[in-house]
Homo-oligomer: A and B are copies of this chain.
Amino acid sequence: MSSSRTNGKVVPLESLGELVRDGESVAFGGGWFANHPMAAVRQLIRAGRTGIHAITVVGSVDMDLMAAAGTLGHLSFSMVTLEAFGLAPNVRRGIESGSLPFTEYTGLGLLIGLEAQGRGMPYLPYRGPFGSDIPARYPEIYATTNCPFTGEQLTAVRALQPDVAIVHALRADAEGNAQWDGTSGPDVEMAKAAKRVIVTCEEVVDRRVIVENAHMTKLPGYYVDAVIEAPFGAHPTSHVPRYAMDAWELMDYAAAAGDPEAIAEYVARIRNETEEGYRERVLKGRDKVLGALVDAAEVIEGAQA
């Protein structure tokens, strides 16, 4: 690779605030406690972005933290949960108080809406959530349609085009070719649907590394506008196989999240430090163990697979 292209699409995390504007719709990758683009979430908070229409399939600490920080103007989701640590207190408070406008999708509907946009369709039909109360709430998103051959009644879901998608990959090169080994969840569909795509990754690598692992490339570079190196960029959620979720930090988060004062402090700490500072503060001496949690995870030996 010639030096003229070495940097290509690579930008520092600090430029994220310029890449995402107030009021834009942003799809955030990952699911449950796996692989949310948390470094980007923290940076949006530091940049003071507001009015963001966040789109998540299964959000967790990413959505709750942005709700707490005042980043969100709208939340589209099919689930937001802190799982073992309970409901997401700040999302819950926002919706219950009416201060956070929201759209509740069904999970397949949300993914198929993203898929439709990504493949150039204004909608896609599927065997939808018949009997659910959700579609009738959103006639601009869900409609009924019929198969022109069999007459079967189906659910149509409208194409969903985020302004921006932010996803976290294992590695990417300067062209934006991005690879995942473990959980990629909804990341590829979000990226294919969005007008602009920002990939954060554990590591920016030479194109040669991408070629040698070509089967792991889930997002080719022509989709990608910016590549940001963000080690532990999914923390405190997981990025398997690099590190497991940081359940201890999540427990601290959950404890703070239910208390307005405590969560304000939690947010202020993030706002007043760099991402490097965050890593130093939170990971100090613990990064190796978070990686070892992955190594220690066991398949049941001797069992037939």
Question: A residues touching B (Cβ–Cβ < 8 Å)?
Answer: 1-2, 5, 119-127, 140, 143-145, 147-150, 152, 154, 156, 158, 181, 207, 211, 213, 215-216, 304-305
> Which residues of chain B are within 8 angstroms of A207 by Cβ–Cβ distance?
305
A127 & B121 in contact (Cβ 8 Å cutoff): yes
In the complex the two chains form, what is the Cα distance from A30 to B181 in whole Å?
Answer: 27
In the complex the two chains form, what is the Cα distance from A95 to B152 in whole Å?
Answer: 35
A121-B125, A149-B156 known, 17 other contacts, Cβ within 8 Å: A1-B305, A2-B304, A121-B127, A121-B147, A122-B154, A123-B148, A123-B149, A123-B150, A124-B125, A140-B149, A143-B149, A144-B148, A145-B148, A147-B156, A149-B158, A181-B215, A211-B305
Among A148, A207, A211, A216, the most chain B Cβ lie within 10 Å of the Cβ of A148
Q: List 16 A-B contacts (CB under 8 A).
A: A1-B304, A119-B126, A120-B126, A121-B125, A121-B126, A121-B147, A122-B147, A122-B150, A122-B152, A123-B148, A143-B149, A147-B156, A149-B156, A149-B158, A213-B215, A215-B215
Among A1, A5, A145, the most chain B Cβ lie within 10 Å of the Cβ of A145
In the complex the two chains form, what is the Cα distance from A8 to B219 in whole Å?
Answer: 35
CB distance from A220 to the nearest CB of B (A): 12
In the complex the two chains form, what is the Cα distance from A27 to B203 in whole Å?
Answer: 42
> Which residues of chain B are within 8 angstroms of A148 by Cβ–Cβ distance?
123, 143-145, 156
For A181, the closest partner residue in chain B by CB is: B215
For A120, the closest partner residue in chain B by CB is: B127
In the complex the two chains form, what is the Cα distance from A305 to B149 in whole Å?
Answer: 46
> Which residues of chain B are within 8 angstroms of A122 by Cβ–Cβ distance?
147, 149-150, 152, 154
CB distance from A273 to the nearest CB of B (A): 37
> Which residues of chain B are within 8 angstroms of A181 by Cβ–Cβ distance?
215
In the complex the two chains form, what is the Cα distance from A121 to B5 in whole Å?
Answer: 44
